[in-house]
Amino acid sequence: MFRGRSLLCLLDFETHEIEKMLDVSFIMKNYVYHNNVPSSLSGKRVALLFEKPSTRTRVSTELAVSMLGGIPIVLNKQDLQWSRGEPIEDTGRVLGRVVNGIGARVLNHLTLVKLKESSGVPVFNLLSDLSHPLQALADLMTIRERFGNNLIKIAFVGDGTDNVLLSLMAIVAKLGLELHIATPKELKPREDLFKIISEIADDTGSVIEFHEDPYDAVRGVHVVYTDVWVSMGQENIAEQKKKLLQNYRVTSDLMKYAVKDAIFMHCLPANRGEEVELEVIDGPKSAVWDQAENRLYTAMAVFSLFI
């Protein structure tokens, strides 16, 4: 079903395929807890390429490959000839000769497409300007651990153009869930991508709605999600975005409008006091450390299925 394919965007996968990735993630977590992880990647070499900083993704992907018996090789852009102008296609061709899979965190999503075409091996999106599929899988795992497979309601408060939000919208649409997005009208997601997501949502019965008022979005939801206001690579528009997002902070007061046992989620890293109040992210409703831990199991699941 997956062998030899790439994972650049969850929109490229059927609902049952996403369910399979989630099922295997839970199985991997169980294996890790019982200390009996299979050697599914025995002898397989996986390059992990980073054009931007990373803590969770770097740790989870490198550990995932090693724990499954494979050989990870972490490559930071500044150490590669790519940083001195060697074309990414040439980098891809070389890697394709010596590794069985490539994970890459890139500034521009097109770089992933070029790596996929030039290398001929499965390529995994470890975060691009457009999306963060492995994060969305870990997030759904976290949500299911708390609420089971119920049709829960999620609110996202913040930047409507955010890469983590795009993958969240994709997985919500594919799984038929409900998402309320509070974002200023200036920060709506890309229209072409949202059109694709809406069509999927219509088919699965998923509801995705926009609100200008965060209180309207959060009323009665089970999950309140946010991400940083300024993503890596957006430093030049930081001030403009911060101004637009002033009223989109997740506060203790906002959390009161969600259901009683609602959780707070954030992919991390976070700016306490900016997109979320310290009392919320460090408070009892916060599920952020579970999300971070679950990144390991989703990376293990995806690598073992695809490579």
Contact between residue 62 and residue 54 where contact means Cβ atoms under 8 Å apart: no
What x-and-dash track marks residues 201-240 binding ligand NVA by CB under 6 A?
A: --------------------------xx--xx--------
Q: Judged by CB, which is closer to ligand CP: 87, or 269? A: 269
Residue 267 as a binder of ligand CP (CB under 6 A): the answer is yes
Q: Any idea what DSSP says for residue 124?
A: E
Q: Minimum distance between the CB of residue 307 and ligand NVA, rounded to whole angstroms?
A: 23
Active-site residue, from 45, 56, 132, 222: 132
Per DSSP (E only), the strands in 169-228 are 178-182, 207-211, 223-226
Q: Give the Cα-Cα-Cα angle 234, 141, 285 (nearest 5 degrees).
A: 75
The nearest distance, CB 304 to ligand CP, in angstroms, is 20
Q: Is 9 a catalytic residue?
A: no
Q: Is 78 a catalytic residue?
A: no
**Given 9, 227, 249, 291, which residue is catalytic?**
227
Q: Which stretch binds ligand CP (CB under 6 A): 34-42, 53-61, 116-124, 233-241?
A: 53-61
Which of ligand NVA, ligand CP, none sits in contact with 32, Cβ below 5 to 8 A by type? none
**Taking CB under 6 A as the criterion, which residues in 261-300 touch ligand NVA?**
267
Size of the site for ligand NVA (CB under 6 A): 9
Per CB under 6 A, the list member of 54, 100, 142, 183 interacting with ligand CP is 54
Q: In what order do the strands lie in the sheet with 263-266?
A: 207-211, 178-182, 153-157, 223-226, 263-266
Residue 127 sits in the site that holds ligand NVA (CB under 6 A): yes
**By CB under 6 A, residue 226 contacts ligand CP:** no
Binding partner selected for residue 222 from ligand CP, ligand NVA, none, CB under the kind-specific 5 to 8 Å limit = none
Active site residue 93: no
Residue 55, contacted partner among ligand CP, ligand NVA, none, CB below 5-8 A by kind = ligand CP
Nearer to ligand CP, 134 or 175 (CB): 134
CB of 93 to ligand CP, least distance (A): 27
Query: Smallest distance from the beta carbon of 134 to ligand CP, in angstroms?
Result: 8
Sign of the CA dihedral running 72, 73, 75, 81 = negative
**87-125 burial string, b = 16+ CB within 10 Å, else e?**
ebeebbebbbeebbbbbbbbeebebbbbbbebbebbbbb
Q: How far apart are CA 277 and CA 23, in angstroms?
A: 33
Crossing angle of the two packed helices 163-175 and 191-204, in degrees rounded to 10 = 20
219 is catalytic: no
> Beta strand 123-125 with 153-157: parallel, antiparallel or unpaired?
unpaired
Torsions phi, psi of 256, nearest 5? -65, -20
Q: Where are any strands of DSSP class E within the chain? A: 45-50, 71-76, 101-105, 123-125, 153-157, 178-182, 207-211, 223-226, 263-266
Q: Is 286 an interacting residue with respect to ligand CP (CB under 6 A)? A: no
Residue with Cβ nearer ligand CP (77 or 219): 77
Q: Are 194 and 188 in contact (CB under 8 A)?
A: yes
Place of tokens 């990647």: 41
Q: In the bound complex, what is the minimum distance in angstroms from residue 267's beta carbon to ligand NVA? A: 5
Which position among 29, 44, 45, 56 is part of the footprint of ligand CP (CB under 6 A)? 56
Residue whose structure tokens are 């590669």: 80
**Residues with catalytic annotation?**
105, 132, 135, 227, 267, 295
Q: Which residues are near ligand CP by CB under 6 A? A: 54-58, 127, 135, 267-269
